[in-house]
Amino acid sequence: MNTGALWLTVVALGLYHGLNPAMGWPLAVANGMTARRAASVFATMLPLGGGHFLAIAVALAPFAWLGWYLEWSRAIRIGAGLAVLLFGVYKLIYRRHPRMLARIAPTRLAWWSFLMATAHGAGLMLVPFMLGLCAAPAPGHHAMMASMAQANMSTALLIAIVHTLTTLLAGIGMAWIVYRYLGLRVLQRVWINLDAVWGASLVLAGAAGIGLAMM
């Protein structure tokens, strides 16, 4: 998979995460309707986006730091893909959300978003594609490893930024459509449980990561 396709995947996953109601856009709709102000919809999405960004960055950083080890590059990529795949299988079998998420105060939106994205493996889903974008030093250039590690960390940060902005765009779009035109009642009529879809997407992302590492 070439670099362009990998970046498109990062953007596509951002849209997917943003459209998923589990990432929080219904909270923005509810806050907007409670305050009866459209500005409340957008204000709610900002802390949700901040928490999502932090969850993505925390998940990507360790793999970006380890990815520059030339001797273990393939093993790390295969291991990361396997971890994503197994987590997807776990989510398919056990779909309940952690009880602690229900105990977080509604005012702590960024913290809720961080824990929700982490519990769903949102950042983990991006790891295989991030490793495909990270560079490994050529044989015999071990002196460049430190700078390569810094470059990979920068790549991970850029991926987290691009992904979060795309997620915010999709989430704000959904929140605005529901707030302005559809109303919360539409969620009761057409709600789709995306837990199975989410678990399957993790399995696909893990399998793709393993396939990329073997190429």
pLDDT in tens, 139-197: 555 556 666 667 788 889 999 999 999 999 999 999 998 888 777 666 665 555 667 77
- pLDDT of 51: 93
Residue of higher predicted confidence among 105 and 201: 201
Which pair of tokens denotes residue 161?
Answer: 């930024």
- pLDDT of 98: 59
- pLDDT of 97: 61
pLDDT of residue 126 exceeding 80: yes
**One-letter amino acid for residue 124 of the chain:** L
pLDDT of residue 99 exceeding 70: no
Among the ranges given (9-13, 26-30, 83-87, 133-137), the one the predictor scored with the smallest mean pLDDT: 133-137
What is the rounded distance in angstroms from the CA atom of residue 17 to the CA atom of residue 101?
Answer: 18
Which pair of tokens denotes residue 199?
Answer: 């678990």
- pLDDT of 193: 60
Half-sphere exposure of 55 (CA within 13 A, CB side): 28
**One-letter amino acid for residue 190 of the chain:** V
What is the rounded distance in angstroms from the CA atom of residue 107 to the CA atom of residue 160?
Answer: 24
Determine whether 141 is exposed, middle or buried from the number of CB atoms within 10 Å of its CB (0-12, 13-18, 19+): exposed
Global pTM value: 0.84
Beta-carbon contacts of 130 under 8 Å, excluding residues fewer than 6 positions away, are: 10, 60, 63, 64, 155, 156, 159
- Left, alpha or beta for 121 (phi > 0: left; psi -120 to 50: alpha)? left
- pLDDT of 192: 56
For the segment 87-107, the average pLDDT, to the nearest whole number, is: 68
What is the rounded distance in angstroms from the CA atom of residue 132 to the CA atom of residue 140?
Answer: 21
- Give the pLDDT band (50/70/90) at residue 206: confident
CB atoms < 10 A from the CB of 202, how many? 25
DSSP single-letter state for residue 193: -
